[in-house]
Structure 1
Amino acid sequence: MHCSQNPPAEIRQRLSAIRTFLLDLDGTVYLGEQLFPWSLEFLARLQRLGKEFIFVTNNSSQNARYYVAKLARLGVAARPEQIFTSGEATIYYLRKHRFGQEICCIGTPALEEEFREAGFVLTPRQPAAVVLGFDLTLTYEKVRLACDLVRNGVPFIATHPDLNCPTPEGPIPDCGAMASLITAATGVTPKVIGKPNPEMVEALCAKFGLEPESVAMVGDRLYTDIAMGRQAGITTILVLSGETQPQDLAESPHQPDLIADHLGKIAKWLD
């Protein structure tokens, strides 16, 4: 259903039960370095209604401080605790499953810093896990080290499955492509944490004490944002301001609960 007109009463009622909105960033709140004109109105509406919002991203090459600074440049005030990355979800997963504090992190300096601040010791010597992120500093030596460890039975975890990361110059290889390289060399498939996997929502709910029935995921990708929300049992809202086009819905197994042209339309529903 493409909700291009005012939604019926049951949709308004459904949204009234939502206390926390999980918001994808690129394609939902902004596009590249351009804030969508309706984003500030939407966020202000949530604040007036006493509802919370958390920005959720698969990009593990940057930490929360980076996104706070980027949002500030675009005119959006956000606190570090309102940013949740796949790196932070991976930290929750490692702690929940008691992997131990020593890990081998194949990632950017920002991701390494995030793990150190969480109390992990980064080491190539007998680590409890190999954690692969979106590594813009990837080298052959890092790949060789990861393959040696994984081949010898060290658990292999990837922060997220994206094959490509969009940039203004075009797509560049992302974490999923890097994981495929290690898998091809070792025959081992990683445990993947980020969207579309429900571990991301589980970690969020645990961190913030959220009840799934009061949470909604808002995003522009069917196979990540909507797929994750459906698997996690939360309300899903697709916005058509980014990647997904209306014709993509016909062939997708991941169907949202609601569809809006953009965040500004959702703001009107909440009015």
Structure 2
Amino acid sequence: MKQLPEVNQDIRSRLKDITCFALDMDGTVYLGTKWIEGAVDFLKAVEKAGKQYIFLTNNSSKGPENYVEKLAAMGLIVTKDRIVTSGQATISYLKKHYPGKRVYLLGNDLLQREFQEEGILLAENDPEVVVTGFDTSLTYEKLCRVCDHVRAGLPYIATHPDYNCPTEDGFIPDIGSFHELIHASAFRYPDHVVGKPSGDIMDYLAGRAGTSRAETAMVGDRLYTDVAAGVNNGYTGILVLSGEATLADAEEAEVTPDLIFTSVKEMIPFL
């Protein structure tokens, strides 16, 4: 059995050097539409300590404005610059690696509009790049078209890898399940995935926040996305036990968190 950090402890005072907390949302600061106990107190404590927090989500079916509205309904007023999505990070990735290229985007109207507003050229029939997002308006026609483009050998980029998306009523199929279907037909998985646990989305966030890897922590309840995004890319990876993962899961996982807390509330004394 591997050695895990002691729960609710920061023996090496790592949090003192963190200036930016990248926070997963569902399971980390809220569950559905209810705050996890002490989460709002943690956000206030971060700001009181002169530090910043940014919410980071792999969900590319919603834009920053959707999360701003949800948080406002829960009593927290934040601006869009406090929200980073895998859709935004993918746009940044395309601008850097495929500037000016025509993109076939598997995504709902919100994601399509976001790409177009950022100057990404979308094309249905003659693309140069394929991008898959969490398309909540998926149709059989769209599946046929994306499989055709992937089968043709075009560069194939995904916004994130999650197989399921949590909801208040359980789980719904996410983009990872789409990739399995596409692979079964077109015999390819994405060439590159931008969202957690990839370093692309973490580097994009750090650039937006104006911080370095040493100053940034990724806090979340999933080992294979949140914690891995931090630990595997040179950031501090913090596991909270308020959502999906348990201590038993952490003992079995390939990735070892830098710190473990029962909830974000327990981090307050170490800020």
- TM > 0.5: yes
Shift, 1:99, TM fit: 4.1
Taking a change above 3 Å as real, the CA distance of residues 92 and 5 of structure 1, as seen in their structure-2 partners, is closer
Does the CA contact (< 8 Å) of 1:38 and 1:263 recur in 2?
A: yes
Shift, 1:2, TM fit: 5.3
Q: Unaligned 5+ residue runs, structure 2?
A: none
Secondary structure class of the residue paired with 2:232 = helix
Shift, 1:33, TM fit: 1.1
The TM-score, its normalising length taken from structure 2, stands at 0.94
Look up the equivalent residue of 1:26 and give its one-letter code.
D
Alpha-carbon distance in structure 1 between the residues aligned to 2:149 and 2:49: 50
Alpha-carbon distance in structure 2 between the residues aligned to 1:128 and 1:236: 36
1:143 aligns with 2:143: yes
Look up the equivalent residue of 1:232 and give its one-letter code.
N
1:195 aligns with 2:196: yes
Shift, 1:208, TM fit: 3.1
Secondary structure class of the residue paired with 1:171 = strand
Question: Within 5 Å, which residues of 2 pair with 1:170-209?
Answer: 170-190=170-190, 191-209=192-210
Alpha-carbon distance in structure 1 between the residues aligned to 2:150 and 2:114: 22
Secondary structure class of the residue paired with 1:41 = helix
Shift, 1:194, TM fit: 0.8
Deviations 1:95-116 (A, max 9, x none): 1113424211111111111101
Does the CA contact (< 8 Å) of 1:99 and 1:128 recur in 2?
A: no
Q: Unaligned 5+ residue runs, structure 1?
A: none
2:215 corresponds to which residue?
A: 214
Does the CA contact (< 8 Å) of 2:9 and 2:261 recur in 1?
A: no
Shift, 1:121, TM fit: 2.3
Deviations 1:109-134 (A, max 9, x none): 11111101111122113222111111
2:161 corresponds to which residue?
A: 161
The 10-residue stretch of structure 1 (34-43 or 56-65) with the greater mean CA deviation from structure 2: 34-43
Look up the equivalent residue of 1:192 and give its one-letter code.
V
1:51 aligns with 2:54: no
Alpha-carbon distance in structure 2 between the residues aligned to 1:250 and 1:3: 12
Deviations 1:236-270 (A, max 9, x none): 11111101111112111111111111011001222
Alpha-carbon distance in structure 1 between the residues aligned to 2:137 and 2:115: 16
Does the CA contact (< 8 Å) of 1:99 and 1:129 recur in 2?
A: no
Question: Within 5 Å, which residues of 2 pair with 1:13-92?
Answer: 14-92=14-92
Shift, 1:16, TM fit: 1.2
The 10-residue stretch of structure 1 (125-134 or 224-233) with the greater mean CA deviation from structure 2: 125-134
Deviations 1:13-39 (A, max 9, x none): x21111110000000010011111211
Secondary structure class of the residue paired with 2:77 = coil
1:267 corresponds to which residue?
A: 268
Shift, 1:5, TM fit: 5.3
Higher RCO (CA 8 Å, separation ≥ 6 residues)? 2
1:255 corresponds to which residue?
A: 256
Does the CA contact (< 8 Å) of 2:217 and 2:236 recur in 1?
A: yes
Shift, 1:192, TM fit: 1.3
Alpha-carbon distance in structure 2 between the residues aligned to 1:42 and 1:175: 31
Does the CA contact (< 8 Å) of 2:162 and 2:176 recur in 1?
A: yes
Deviations 1:175-219 (A, max 9, x none): 010111112111121121111111111222233332111101110
Alpha-carbon distance in structure 2 between the residues aligned to 1:223 and 1:6: 22
CA RMSD of the aligned region, Å? 1.4
Alpha-carbon distance in structure 2 between the residues aligned to 1:152 and 1:4: 50
2:229 corresponds to which residue?
A: 228
Does the CA contact (< 8 Å) of 1:198 and 1:232 recur in 2?
A: yes
Alpha-carbon distance in structure 2 between the residues aligned to 1:4 and 1:171: 28
The alignment-based identity, stated in percent, is 45
Question: Within 5 Å, which residues of 2 pair with 1:79-158?
Answer: 79-158=79-158
Shift, 1:224, TM fit: 0.6
